[in-house]
Amino acid sequence: LQQPPGWVLGLPGGQLVDQHGVRSEAADFEFSPAVRAVAANYIDGVVAWLGAVQYYRVGLSENGETYYPDTSDNGWWAFGPAQQVAADLPSGVGASPLPGWVPGYSIWKGIAVTRRQVTAWYRWYFGALVNAHAWEMATFRAAGFTGRLELVMPGMGTLPAVYNQRLSEDLAPNPVIDSLSLM
């Protein structure tokens, strides 16, 4: 799934969009029901064709791991139209709790953002990623696969100090903290 054909990326909402309008080179499994639908058909076919196998590695990034695609310039893949207005999102994924707010800015709609709002936004963003991976695993099960699913998670995770520092800075870029990685 990490190397979809061009026609998948060309689907409505087929690619993630960052706050600068840059489109990802990976398919939008997090926010696009259209991408999930064609991927489910593909998974059904793979499971039927391969039959019993020991395991499937699951992960949706360009490396087949559990994270959003890499970005440049502190990009956040949450700015397609569907995410901002809750139009045609997958089950369990709602619209942005701060439509139009860009991480790193301390103002939203003319008012200072609160730590609670920033935390809610980040939980929504990360929750969409978790939802996509839960969908992927459920899709393998629905296709009849009963073996092991190996969820590949890169890095060492997020250190609580890094998480709290980034939230206190409204998720703004921080070269020292970013080297430790939030995701």
- d(C-alpha 128, C-alpha 23), whole Å: 17
- d(C-alpha 183, C-alpha 28), whole Å: 17
Cα dihedral 56, 62, 66, 72 in deg (nearest 10): 180
Residue 108 to residues 38, 71, 87, 102, 114, Cα–Cα distance (Å)? 36, 23, 21, 8, 10
Q: Write down the pLDDT at residue 183.
A: 47
Please tell me the pTM assigned to this model.
0.88
The pLDDT tens digits of the residues spanning 22-47 come to 998 889 999 999 999 999 999 999 99
Q: Write down the pLDDT at residue 179.
A: 54
What is the DSSP secondary structure assignment for residue 28, as one 8-state letter? -
Per-residue confidence in pLDDT tens, the chain, 183 aa: 888 888 998 998 899 999 999 998 889 999 999 999 999 999 999 999 998 899 999 888 878 888 888 887 778 999 988 888 877 899 999 889 999 999 999 999 999 999 999 999 999 999 999 999 999 999 999 999 999 999 887 765 567 888 888 888 888 876 665 555 544
Query: Is there a contact between 29 and 36 (Cβ–Cβ < 8 Å)?
Result: yes
Q: Write down the pLDDT at residue 146.
A: 94
3-class SS at 16?
strand
Tokens, residue 150: 């190996």
